[in-house]
Amino acid sequence: MVKIPDADQSDIRAQRDQLITAVVTHVPFDGWTRAALLRGAEDIGLDKSDAQALFPGDARDMIAWHSQMADRRMMVALEKANLDSLKIRERIATAVMTRLEQNAQDREAIRRGLAILSKPQNAGLALQLLYRTVDDMWFAAGERSTDWNFYSKRMLLSGVYSSTLMVWLNDQTEDFSETRAFLDRRIENVMQIPKLKSRVSAVAQRLPLNVPGRVAARMKAFRSFGRGGMRGTW
């Protein structure tokens, strides 16, 4: 599995940021290749050997760094936004759209990157990058749970973000209105889950203990699993 480069070293991070920003303009034509890397290096006057030292691996290293850059830019923008006055669902919608809109000029590069990440051997990296993104979104939204909600919320948002990303890649509407409408529908669907859980739990409570079959067992297990509930409104 490719290790995502550590961004703690600010000088190296700045160099990588500058290089990837240049590289991404060549990706629509050259893909996430060594050729794109060297063309980007030439654009910013960086020696080819230095460029290869910054990204000694393959395409996955560059894709991972581009994703990390996007996460950092998103967090900076969200810190400046007045999210405290918004409901949780609005904070999440803002985070998702901020992440997408900031990368509008890189859609083709992202499309090509997703094609690489979709390969079975890259599944681990794809999940790692997705987790980082949705974890940052929840953190920016003020979510600080430490119980099972921490994982369930990130799992749900992973599905919402991934599906919205696919719509966004092909959205030709002004201001990405199609993407926004799709995102609103997906969030609304997710918000129904706690309500569904409540209904199922109510039914399970009325079941006699001796009801045979898997249905009763699963419903009672679901009732027990859901006692913690999901805090807040999503």
Q: pLDDT tens digit string along 84-132? A: 999 999 999 999 999 999 999 999 999 999 999 999 999 999 999 999 9
Res 231: pLDDT: 32
Res 199: pLDDT: 53
Distance CA 137, CA 131 (A): 10
- Count the Cβ atoms, other than its own, within 10 Å of residue 92: 27
Tell me the three state secondary structure of residue 141.
coil
36: closest CA among 62, 2, 5? 62
Res 39: pLDDT: 98
Tell me the three state secondary structure of residue 10.
helix
Structure tokens of 35? 């050729």
Q: Does residue 173 carry a pLDDT above 70?
A: yes
Q: What is the pLDDT confidence band of residue 4, given thresholds at 50, 70 and 90?
A: low
Domain ranges of the chain: 10-228
Structure tokens of 86? 């918004």
Average pLDDT taken over every residue of the chain: 84
What percent of the chain is helix, strand and coil (3-state, nearest 5)?
75, 0, 25
Q: Where does 10-228 sit in CATH, by number? A: 1.10.357.10
Res 144: pLDDT: 84
> Look-up: residue for tokens 């290790």?
3
Distance CA 211, CA 201 (A): 15
User: Count H helices, E strands: the chain?
Assistant: 11, 0
For the residues 64-86, what does the mean pLDDT come to? 95
Q: What is the pLDDT confidence band of residue 215, given thresholds at 50, 70 and 90?
A: very low
107: closest CA among 65, 166, 151? 166
Question: Which of 2-6, 97-101, 217-221 tops mean pLDDT?
Answer: 97-101
* Segment among 10-14, 27-31, 108-112, 201-205 with least mean pLDDT: 201-205
Residues 6+ apart with CB under 8 A from 225: none
Residue 200 CA, chain-centre distance (Å), reads 30
Res 214: pLDDT: 44
